């Protein structure tokens, strides 16, 4: 379903199948980093979000993971960046106010796009967010469109993925216990609903569903791959949705993905019987130029979603909370002298 604003809602042409602070676990928290996170949540009185941040590491229950082109989100004058130790390495996480709530932010590619998609330390990033109490994640992504119904300039609230990556560590349960994540609906349905309503209220041009095929990168697709992706039901393509989404699910955090279509991947081959010629193939310079131009829209969309999230949001428990607690109780590796 595509929405083009609150007054003009139309079904898409046929396309192929592609929290604020104030909760604590039953063991309690003191507002600082704890390597054990209890995942059974009891609502408390929501504190003033403008209250001073707690040292050494403040908590936040909502996080934004910035994709390509989004390396800063929070006003530096009111933000604190913490080096969060994890069993997989140290992760810089910035905590501050955005859209009226306390938010944790990390750019998955590092500052200035310094980490290639296949080298991102996904487990460290997700473990770090879970360790400071995050329950809801808004992830942003740049994607290519592989069907005509997902053209450049469209925002997409992704609902499915197809994994075409290789060699990426993609589970926390590789020792001590084996856990089988239910991945039928990988992106949190409730969070997706809040995002759709927020974008609808903004009058945005967006698709409320989309299947992303995740490639290894850092290269872009060949034309043959792009055509094949469309034939197997994908709508968009990117390099980072996997394993980020499943790792968050393994720690019982909900994720909603907001993707921005920057290009037509390797160039859309014409549909059978069509006289439309191929479009230009994607280049990195074109992607970053379009992301810069779209930055106000993307930030407004993220702000709208942040405002739409209820303070009492409770994520799905896809994994036994006892097993999640065991993962978060693992010893950390600190890179800080």
For residue 2, tell me if it sits in a domain: no
Domain around 70? 19-31+46-328
263 tagged catalytic: yes
Q: Was 174 annotated as part of a binding site?
A: no
The residue with tokens 């908590």 is 59
For the chain, what's the residue count? 337
Phi-psi category of residue 140: left, alpha or beta, with phi > 0 → left and psi -120 to 50 → alpha:
beta
The confidence score (pLDDT) of residue 114 equals 80
pLDDT digits (tens, 9 = 90+) for 212-259: 999 999 999 999 999 999 999 999 999 999 999 999 999 999 999 999
Q: Which residues of the chain have pLDDT under 50?
A: 3-47, 51-55, 274-278, 336-337
Question: CATH number for the domain including 230?
Answer: 3.40.50.1580
Q: Was 108 annotated as part of a binding site?
A: yes
265 tagged catalytic: yes
For residue 4, tell me if it sits in a domain: no
Enter the pTM of the model. Answer: 0.80
Q: Was 109 annotated as part of a binding site?
A: yes
For residue 1, tell me if it sits in a domain: no
The confidence score (pLDDT) of residue 334 equals 55
- Domain tally, the chain: 1
Q: Was 68 annotated as part of a binding site?
A: yes
3-state secondary structure the chain: CEEECCCCEECCCCCCCCCCCCEEECCCCCCCCCCCCCCCEEECCCCCCCCCCCCCCCCCCEEEEECCCCCCCCCHHHCEEEEEEECCEEEEEEEEEECCEEEEEEECCCCCCCCCHHHCCHHHHHHHHHHCCCCEEEEEEEEEECCCCCCCCCEEECCEEEEECCCCCCCCCCCCCCCCCCCCCCCCHHHHHHHHHHHHHCCCEEECCCEEEEECCCCCCCHHHHHHHHHCCCCEEECCHHHHHHHHHHCCCEEEEEEEEEECCCCCCCCCCCCCCCCCCCCHHHHHHHHHHHHHHHHHHHHHHHHHCCCCCCCCCCCCHHHHHHHHCCCCECCCC
Catalytic residue among 18, 188, 265, 325: 265
What residues contact 119, with CB distance under 8 A and at least 6 apart?
none
Q: Was 142 annotated as part of a binding site?
A: yes
Pairing of strands 101-107, 89-98: antiparallel
pLDDT digits (tens, 9 = 90+) for 11-31: 333 333 333 333 333 333 333
For residue 337, tell me if it sits in a domain: no
For residue 3, tell me if it sits in a domain: no
- Cα 65 versus chain centre, distance: 6
The confidence score (pLDDT) of residue 133 equals 95
For residue 324, tell me if it sits in a domain: yes
The confidence score (pLDDT) of residue 40 equals 38
For residue 89, tell me if it sits in a domain: yes
Catalytic residue among 18, 188, 200, 263: 263
């Amino acid at each position: 379903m595509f929405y083009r604003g609150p007054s003009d809602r139309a079904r898409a042409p046929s396309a192929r199948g592609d929290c604020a602070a104030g909760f604590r676990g039953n063991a309690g928290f003191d507002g600082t980093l704890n390597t054990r996170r209890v995942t059974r949540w009891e609502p408390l009185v929501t504190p003033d979000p403008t209250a001073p941040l707690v040292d050494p590491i403040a908590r936040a229950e909502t996080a934004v993971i910035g994709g390509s082109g989004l390396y800063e989100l929070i006003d530096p004058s009111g933000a604190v960046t913490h080096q969060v130790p994890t069993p997989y390495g140290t992760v810089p996480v910035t905590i501050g106010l955005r859209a009226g709530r306390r938010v944790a932010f990390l750019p998955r590619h590092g500052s200035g796009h310094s980490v290639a998609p296949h080298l991102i330390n996904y487990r460290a990033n997700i473990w770090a967010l879970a360790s400071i109490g995050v329950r809801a994640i808004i992830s942003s992504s740049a994607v290519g469109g592989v069907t005509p119904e997902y053209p450049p300039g469209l925002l997409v609230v992704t609902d499915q993925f197809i994994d075409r990556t290789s060699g990426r560590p993609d589970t926390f349960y590789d020792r001590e216990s084996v856990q089988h994540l239910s991945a039928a609906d990988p992106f949190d349905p409730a969070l997706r609903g809040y995002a759709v309503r927020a974008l609808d209220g903004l009058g945005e041009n967006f698709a409320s569903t989309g299947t992303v095929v995740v490639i290894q990168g850092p290269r872009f697709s060949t034309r043959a791959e792009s055509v094949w992706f469309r034939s197997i039901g994908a709508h968009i393509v990117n390099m980072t949705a996997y394993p980020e989404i499943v790792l968050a699910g393994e720690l019982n955090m909900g994720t909603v993905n907001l993707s921005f279509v920057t290009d037509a991947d390797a160039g859309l081959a014409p549909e059978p019987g069509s006289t439309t010629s191929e479009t230009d193939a994607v280049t990195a310079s074109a992607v970053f130029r379009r992301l810069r131009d779209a930055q106000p829209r993307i930030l407004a969309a993220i702000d709208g979603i942040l405002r739409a999230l209820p303070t009492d949001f409770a994520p799905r428990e896809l994994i036994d909370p006892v097993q999640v607690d065991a993962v978060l109780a693992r010893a950390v590796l600190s890179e800080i002298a």
